[in-house]
Amino acid sequence: MAKSIDPDFAGESKGSSKPGDKRIHLVVVTPERTVLDTLVDFVAIPLFDGEAGILPGRAPLIGRLGFGELRGRVGDTVDRYFVDGGFAQIRDDSATILTARAIPAKDVDVAAAEEDLRALESTKATTELASADRDRGLARARGLIRIARNKG
């Protein structure tokens, strides 16, 4: 799997030598249902301005999410999800991710995302509102494509 050559994975595996000490309770909730409710050793969340890695014992945090990859690692297995904006709350070794959509990385539809990207790039936003919409759409499409490519 690609994770062994993932550049930032090396940094994540710090805690792997002594697993099971302390874990993070990762909960991913969408408006429809609770997608994920597990214990993980490490979780990487896509904040609005970049990725943040969370290990057990993290100070409380509330953050806005961007469009990107959510990774939860248990031992040597990594679960990857595409997260469609939203919010994250970290407290007492539990991470709650509130998002409109959480798509498992393998289910991401690259072709559709690329099409969206092309369509958005060719449109011109004339008002402030449309421009914000366009930026949002672009960020989303790029996030989707990035995560799809990442699986190698």
Partner 1 sequence: MAKARAIIKRRKAIENIRKITRTMELIATNRFKKALNRATEAAAYTRKIAELVAELGRTDQEVSHPLLIAREPVARSLILVLTSNRGLAGGYNSNVLRAATGRYLDDQTGGIEPKLEVAGKRGIGYYRFRKITPQETYTQFEDKPQYSEVEVLADRYIRMYLTGAIDRLDVAYTEFISSSRQAAVVRTLLPVSGLDLGSQPAAKGAEPALEKAEPLAYEFLPDARSILEEIVPVSLKVRLFKCFLDAAVSEQIARMVAMGGATKNADDLAKSLSRQYNRARQNQITRDLADIVGAAAALE
Enumerate binding residues for partner 1 (CB under 8 A).
29-34, 47-49, 52, 59-64, 86-87, 89, 91, 96, 98, 100-101, 129, 133
| Cβ proximity to partner 1, 21 vs 49, nearer residue | 49
| Cβ proximity to partner 1, 64 vs 151, nearer residue | 64
| Cβ proximity to partner 1, 89 vs 150, nearer residue | 89
Distance CA 131, CA 8 (A): 33
DSSP 151: T
Q: Kindly state the smallest distance separating residue 61's Cβ from partner 1, in Å.
A: 5
CB 41 within 8 A of CB 16: yes
* Closest C-alpha to 150, from 89, 104, 98, 94: 104
Q: Kindly state the smallest distance separating residue 135's Cβ from partner 1, in Å.
A: 14
Q: Kindly state the smallest distance separating residue 16's Cβ from partner 1, in Å.
A: 26
| Cβ proximity to partner 1, 16 vs 123, nearer residue | 123
Helix boundaries (H) for the chain? 9-12, 110-122, 128-150
Q: How far is CA 21 from CA 29, 44, 83, 89, in A?
A: 26, 19, 28, 22
| Cβ proximity to partner 1, 78 vs 137, nearer residue | 137
Q: Kindly state the smallest distance separating residue 102's Cβ from partner 1, in Å.
A: 11
Give the 3-state secondary structure of residue 47.
strand
Q: Kindly state the smallest distance separating residue 86's Cβ from partner 1, in Å.
A: 8
